[in-house]
Structure 1
């Protein structure tokens, strides 16, 4: 992957990303940055891209739903204060719910990986996994840099 090709895209998106206050707009901008990054990294053929993107978007949307909608329920119950007051029965129930959400994510990833094998070679599936990790690492790095600038 040529960093000179992707860097201008990331800079363009990151500038507009920080200018927005609306969370939905930010989510859409991150998604656009991710699509640009994955497109450059995976170098999909037109036939692969035609099959890959609908499958990936469905997977990504479902994963987001599980993580953010279901996990949001758990977050409020995981504060120090709430945990100090929770009964053993409620704690066991919460733990079971969290494990069920984790298991749902696992099976979603497994199903997605199996579906990908019908349209992409194994090497590109591995590149996808690495590219997603790289993208999120870069995004976190950008957030870290932004926080440092705002604290000065």
Structure 2
């Protein structure tokens, strides 16, 4: 009786480790891509990465908060007042994101040039595009099999 539970636990643990490993690999690829694109000096990199990582964490928290609310949402059962409250909350979340982005740029401008900040934004877009293309390519191959 205990053996199947142990196997299940081991399986779930290994799945979790694989997912974590993939996320870490993607983060490492993103760091490499940004590093290559920005051509940071050692001094710039030492100041840049803590600011960047803190901002990424904050963006992730905004995203998770937003997703939690939408995940359990049954739009058909929303009252008018609930819909209004939800829209106001969504607007407040968007405003918080904009405020966070402004603060991020302000902090970055003290350690790297504005041109490098623009390069950073471009690097993030190109990395995202590469990841989407990679994902699509793998799914095309999977469908062929």
Number of residue pairs the alignment of both structures matches: 129
In the alignment, is residue 59 of structure 1 matched against residue 55 of structure 2? yes
Q: Do the aligned residues in 2 keep the contact of 1:66 with 1:105 (CA within 8 Å)?
A: yes
Q: What is the CA-CA distance between 1:94 and the residue it aligns to?
A: 1.2
Match of 2:86 among 94, 99, 120: 94
Match of 2:133 among 137, 141, 144: 141
In the alignment, is residue 76 of structure 1 matched against residue 64 of structure 2? no
The farther-off stretch of 121-130 and 21-30 is 21-30
SS at match of 1:119: coil
Q: What is the CA-CA distance between 1:28 and the residue it aligns to?
A: 1.7
| Structure 1 residue runs of 4 or more that deviate by more than 6 Å after TM superposition | none
SS at match of 2:34: helix
Greater C-alpha Rg:
2
In the superposition, the TM-score normalised over structure 1's length comes to: 0.78
In the superposition, the TM-score normalised over structure 2's length comes to: 0.82
Counterpart CA distance in 2 for 1:98 and 1:24 is 29
Counterpart CA distance in 1 for 2:132 and 2:17 is 18
- Runs of 5+ unmatched residues, structure 1: 1-19
Q: What is the CA-CA distance between 1:77 and the residue it aligns to?
A: 4.4
CA RMSD in angstroms, aligned pairs only: 1.6
- Runs of 5+ unmatched residues, structure 2: 1-15
Q: What is the CA-CA distance between 1:110 and the residue it aligns to?
A: 0.4
Match of 2:32 among 36, 41, 56: 36
SS at match of 1:44: coil
In the alignment, is residue 127 of structure 1 matched against residue 119 of structure 2? yes
